[in-house]
Structure 1
Amino acid sequence: MTELKRKLQGIWPNSLFSRLAFVWILALLLGHLINNVYGYISIHEDQIARTDYYLTKDLSVLLPILDAATPSERKLWMEKMQRHAYRYELSTVAPDYLATSTSKWTNPHRRHGLADPLKEELATSYAARSSAGISPGEMGRLYFSLKDGAVLIAIINKTVWPVDWGAGLVFALQMLAVITFTWLAVKQATRPLQRLAEAADTLGSSLHGEAIPEDGPSEVARAAAAFNAMQAQIKEHLAERVHILASISHDLQTPITRMRLRAELMDDGSLQEKMLNDLDAMQQLVEEGITYARSARRTTEEVCRVDIDALLDSLVCDYVDAQHAVRLSGEIGTILSSRPNTLRRIIINLIDNALKFAGDVEIQLGRISPGQISVSVLDRGPGIPDSEMAAVLQPFYRVENSRNRKTGGTGLGLAIAQQLALAVNGSITLSNRDGGGLEAKLIFPVAAETK
């Protein structure tokens, strides 16, 4: 049962258009089949009835003429009376059962039976019997014994089923019309659904999607209205959360500064050092909280022309000047349209995160497709467990559960990079490298220009 279900699912079309077209065409084909079968049966019955009628009429005329005609005249009359549905032959040898015939008529093989009153007259005047056809093209045979002992054989041909090529052409035109109008109807019905799906993708990636038009069929319009309401509520909730984070982080700066001044006045050197270290950690957390809050808001940076090769080269030079082992490989070779400051902040966060856990960092620049660029930051640090790959991109999540800021960090570096990546319609993916280490890859779309 499962195997059959899987096969049926493989045959069943996937898109709405293909499914509707398949159902309409199947219904149209079934309707034509029923109509044609009924028409063919009716035509077949009519052909049989007409054959019976005209054969009876012809025999009522032909048999008396053949009795009175000479052999040469008989041949001429038989040729003249040949029809498309039946023909005549003359035999000098009568079948055995015809010799003992009575006036009783039998027709055991086919429905042809000369069912008019003339049938009884012919059966009374002539010894007659019927049999099945001998050759493949025959439906049956009727035998009549003439007065001189000759036998007239009426051979009834099989009914030819009519082939109406015009009906096939009409069916093909109907299928074409069904497919065309189904495509138009599905396009009109699914256009709002496509907008709804695109808006859902935008909401899931950046939370900055615009409200979608609430038009189309009533069901789709209601779904669009519900989606717009949900999107507005999510934006409001996230904006409130970010505002709270920014406000708390900002307000903490003043007491931290006062505590730092008071710590400077302490006489106990060891206690003063511990206090200042704690304040530094708090200050770092506050600053990164403010940075995250700002990154969660929509960027106001305009799209402009960017030389990504020069941007990354300058970043690497800055790190090298600061005595960090950072190197760059790969080249694009074209001017791109993007947001340079946002890209710079993303890559700096990824490099800083890699330097925190590894002493050597490599940046690989490449092109995935004509409209997509990838920047990979690779290190040979401890890596991240696969079960926590998605969690580390969330704010304040740290793989290391210790409170040591030097090793555990604040848990905002990758979250900020992820928020900034959404601002350039990009994404960040993390994966462990063979042999140890982590690869953080930024993928973002660009519009290329000739350099």
Structure 2
Amino acid sequence: MRSIAERLTRYLPASLFGRLALVLSAALLAAHIVGAGLSHLDIFDFEATKVGEHLAKDTGVLVQQLEISGPALRSAWLDKMQRKSYRFSLGPVDAAGLVMDAKLLQAKRKRELLADLSQELGTGYPLAVLAGATPDEEMRLRLLLRDGTPLTIQVFKLRFPVSWWGGALFVSQVLIMLAFIWLGVRQATRPLQALAEAAERLGQGLGQCVGTSLQGAAIAEDGPTEVARAAAAFNAMQQRITDHLAERVQLLAAISHDLQTPITRMRLRADLLDDALLRDKLGRDLDAMQAMVEEGIAYARSAQSVNEAACRVDLGALLDSLVCDYVDAGHSVQLGGELKAVLVTRPHTLRRMVVNLLDNALKFGQDVEVWVDQPSAEALCISVRDRGPGIPPDQLAAVLQPFYRVESSRNRSTGGTGLGLAIAQQLSAALGARFSLANRDGGGLEAQIILPLSLE
């Protein structure tokens, strides 16, 4: 039974809405069809009973009139008593292929019909039951009048033609039923869909470490009691997570800021040392500490980038001025691609993100290049490429986490603080962009920023 259920589950819709709608539609449609079928059978039984009663009365009246009428009047009475469900005929009838059929008497309705006829005619007119000669003929009944003339009764099968308006009414009922099912299931599952979307947004925010921009709009706490309670619990959880991350960012900013003063005092004291070798070593350590403090402050501030107002930006001009600054500083950086694009974004946030990626590329690689593509009508792609050592594929996701450094780059001169790519990842959320890393063929790393043309 379990294996059958598992196989059936494969063919069910993936969504809760689809499954509920399918189950309710199938159940109500089956009930509707069964109800219509039972109603049809009731009507059939009622009509069959009425036909049997009318046949018995008509046969009784006809036999009495035939017994007292002459040949001319007999023909008139036969014409008068013909019906769609049965017909009467006098005289010898071709009986080829007609046999006595005892099986016909096994049906309850036919036994009741014969009982009504026998009661109406009395014992003087015994009935012979014969099989029908055509597919439309259910059976034939034969009796003899007092003068020996045979009277044959052809009983036809009952048929109820389905009218077009009956079929249209049935289809209309089914469509109305499906419409109400869709509406009801939609109303019941909409809060769950909103909860799932909010949870997905929260998960994406946690993965990107967006800080104070993590919290989305609270979902409505309505719908069924269980759904409303789940929505309230989710809103409370989202608020707690947002507060926790905001406190973490503020703590990092405070520690990084407060460390600058003792670092400055230590630098002054190191300059007073007579030992030049020791002074140089302490100076390098203090430089590394200063860089870590500055990047810590930059990481904390990047959580606030969402507060910058969006405006129209000439992307080519922004990137050209940025690359020129690096070239003037003696770095080898090239710019290319589609540079005539104009988009609505946060320019200072975008500039900080590209600067961060360029610094990272220049630190670890060479032949740095900034390239602009337009992969679709709604987005632009900025790629920062280098020909450095790249990143092991199994660490491409990990390097986006704060303070994570690739194992081969943990020395002070090249390893950095592990915040550069984390800051870029965090800034991408403020731009509504998708940020990704990939190793290049032939060596090197490519960082891609896919930006929407319009930041809502």
TM-score band by shorter chain is: 0.7 to 0.9
Q: Which moved more, 1:261-270 or 1:11-20?
A: 11-20
In structure 1, the partner of 2:80 is: 80
Q: Which moved more, 1:19-28 or 1:431-440?
A: 19-28
- Return the letter of the residue paired with 2:123: T
1:192-211 pair list within 5 angstroms: 192-203=191-202, 204-205=204-205, 206-207=210-211, 208=213, 209-211=215-217
Indicate whether 1:353 and 2:368 are aligned: no
Assess if the C-alpha contact under 8 Å between 1:21 and 1:178 holds in 2. Answer: no
- Return the letter of the residue paired with 1:75: S
Alignment length (residue pairs) = 445
Alpha-carbon distance between aligned partners in 2 of 1:171 and 1:332, rounded to the nearest angstrom: 63
State the Cα distance separating 1:440 from its structure 2 match. Answer: 1.1
In structure 2, the partner of 1:367 is: 374
Name the CA shift for 1:220/1:371 in 2 (closer, same or farther; >3 Å): farther
Q: Which moved more, 1:277-286 or 1:367-376?
A: 367-376
2:384 paired residue among 368, 377, 396: 377
Q: Secondary structure of 2:307's partner? A: coil
Please provide the CA RMSD for this pair.
Answer: 3.3
State the Cα distance separating 1:181 from its structure 2 match. Answer: 4.0
Q: Secondary structure of 1:125's partner? A: coil
Q: Secondary structure of 1:328's partner? A: strand
1:191-270 pair list within 5 angstroms: 191-203=190-202, 204-205=204-205, 206-207=210-211, 208=213, 209-217=215-223, 218-270=225-277
**Deviation readout 1:18-54 (Å, 9 max, x if unpaired):** 4444344333322322222222222222222222222
Name the CA shift for 1:215/1:320 in 2 (closer, same or farther; >3 Å): same
State the Cα distance separating 1:10 from its structure 2 match. Answer: 5.4
Alpha-carbon distance between aligned partners in 1 of 2:326 and 2:143, rounded to the nearest angstrom: 116
State the Cα distance separating 1:5 from its structure 2 match. Answer: 5.7
In structure 2, the partner of 1:39 is: 39
**Deviation readout 1:415-447 (Å, 9 max, x if unpaired):** 111111122222311122333322211123232
2:310 paired residue among 297, 303, 322: 303
State the Cα distance separating 1:391 from its structure 2 match. Answer: 0.8
1:138-149 pair list within 5 angstroms: 138-149=137-148
Name the CA shift for 1:75/1:26 in 2 (closer, same or farther; >3 Å): same
State the Cα distance separating 1:118 from its structure 2 match. Answer: 5.3
1:353-432 pair list within 5 angstroms: 353-401=360-408, 403-432=410-439
Assess if the C-alpha contact under 8 Å between 1:53 and 1:116 holds in 2. Answer: no
Q: Secondary structure of 2:407's partner? A: coil
Assess if the C-alpha contact under 8 Å between 1:107 and 1:129 holds in 2. Answer: no
In structure 2, the partner of 1:344 is: 351
Assess if the C-alpha contact under 8 Å between 2:345 and 2:455 holds in 1. Answer: no
- Return the letter of the residue paired with 1:427: R
Q: Which moved more, 1:153-162 or 1:26-35?
A: 26-35
- Return the letter of the residue paired with 1:45: D
**Deviation readout 1:270-319 (Å, 9 max, x if unpaired):** 22222211221121112111211221335432212211111112222222
Alpha-carbon distance between aligned partners in 1 of 2:27 and 2:2, rounded to the nearest angstrom: 27
Assess if the C-alpha contact under 8 Å between 2:98 and 2:132 holds in 1. Answer: no
- Return the letter of the residue paired with 1:108: L
- Return the letter of the residue paired with 1:278: D
State the Cα distance separating 1:77 from its structure 2 match. Answer: 2.5
Alpha-carbon distance between aligned partners in 2 of 1:98 and 1:331, rounded to the nearest angstrom: 93
Q: Which moved more, 1:62-71 or 1:424-433?
A: 62-71
In structure 1, the partner of 2:136 is: 137
Name the CA shift for 1:351/1:106 in 2 (closer, same or farther; >3 Å): closer
Assess if the C-alpha contact under 8 Å between 1:109 and 1:132 holds in 2. Answer: no
Name the CA shift for 1:107/1:246 in 2 (closer, same or farther; >3 Å): closer
In structure 2, the partner of 1:50 is: 50
Q: Secondary structure of 2:90's partner? A: strand
State the Cα distance separating 1:116 from its structure 2 match. Answer: 4.9
Alpha-carbon distance between aligned partners in 2 of 1:163 and 1:315, rounded to the nearest angstrom: 79
Assess if the C-alpha contact under 8 Å between 1:106 and 1:130 holds in 2. Answer: no
Alpha-carbon distance between aligned partners in 2 of 1:68 and 1:441, rounded to the nearest angstrom: 109
Alpha-carbon distance between aligned partners in 2 of 1:288 and 1:117, rounded to the nearest angstrom: 104
Name the CA shift for 1:233/1:298 in 2 (closer, same or farther; >3 Å): farther
Q: Identity percentage over the alignment?
A: 51
State the Cα distance separating 1:378 from its structure 2 match. Answer: 2.0
State the Cα distance separating 1:91 from its structure 2 match. Answer: 4.3
- Return the letter of the residue paired with 1:226: A
2:110 paired residue among 109, 112, 118: 112
In structure 2, the partner of 1:438 is: 445
Name the CA shift for 1:378/1:90 in 2 (closer, same or farther; >3 Å): farther
Indicate whether 1:63 and 2:74 are aligned: no
Assess if the C-alpha contact under 8 Å between 1:108 and 1:131 holds in 2. Answer: no
Q: Secondary structure of 1:50's partner? A: helix
Alpha-carbon distance between aligned partners in 2 of 1:96 and 1:426, rounded to the nearest angstrom: 90
In structure 1, the partner of 2:298 is: 291
1:148-227 pair list within 5 angstroms: 148-161=147-160, 163=162, 165-186=164-185, 188-203=187-202, 204-205=204-205, 206-207=210-211, 208=213, 209-217=215-223, 218-227=225-234
- Return the letter of the residue paired with 1:152: L
Q: Which moved more, 1:192-201 or 1:264-273?
A: 192-201
